[in-house]
Chain A
Amino acid sequence: AQSVTQPDIHITVSEGASLELRCNYSYGATPYLFWYVQSPGQGLQLLLKYFSGDTLVQGIKGFEAEFKRSQSSFNLRKPSVHWSDAAEYFCAVGEGRGSTLGRLYFGRGTQLTVWP
């Protein structure tokens, strides 16, 4: 069965420091992978996605993620964190392909706190 694991429930970093949020997935075929961010009381905003091709994908707000098939991982990175990045981050894997893309399986999220 498909599943997503985000091993870090809470991460604290200082403003300006680098960031890496971990995500491991279980999926039988080549996955569609996503990172979403959720600010308090808000819905989910897409940061970036991986469907195929280059395994290093760039997203909004200076985020990037690298797909590593051998490790079943899709870790999110940012070289220098801003206080406004404090939020909850969700990794997700999509079931199906193309027009049949169906449900998303989400991890339980990683809460990011940024110290000034």
Chain B
Amino acid sequence: DAGVTQSPTHLIKTRGQQVTLRCSPKSGHDTVSWYQQALGQGPQFIFQYYEEEERQRGNFPDRFSGHQFPNYSSELNVNALLLGDSALYLCASRTAGETQYFGPGTRLLVL
């Protein structure tokens, strides 16, 4: 049984560009959350998706948007990239009432 998978593992972008990160949840999980982990910090909640809708959102600007597909996979989109968006982006999935399981993350570097 595959756990949470994310792609790509690494990518480099320049300021002003747009990026899309992808996440496939653990089998049987229907809720996906995204977190941003800056270097030396704990993960910060971006948003959570359930039934293809954004259920909850953290303190992130509208440049950060997401989507959940009918198969529960999810995308995180970031527009107009800033240097400060450089971070490890973590996807987590769960089903009702259960613990969140995290993927390995996508490391984004903005130059």
Contact = CB atoms under 8 A, between A and B. Distances in A.
B58 A44 contact: no
Contacts of B96: 98-99
Q: Chain B: interface residue count, which band?
A: 20 to 34
A106 interface: yes
A108 B104 contact: no
Given A103-B33, A103-B58, A109 B42 contact: yes
Nearest to B41: A108
Contacts of A42: 104-105
Interface of B: 4, 33, 35, 40-45, 48, 55-56, 58, 90, 92, 94, 96-105, 107
A4 B42 CA distance: 10
Contacts of B101: 46
Interface of A: 4, 34, 36, 41-46, 49, 90, 92, 98-99, 101-109
Contacts of B41: 108-109
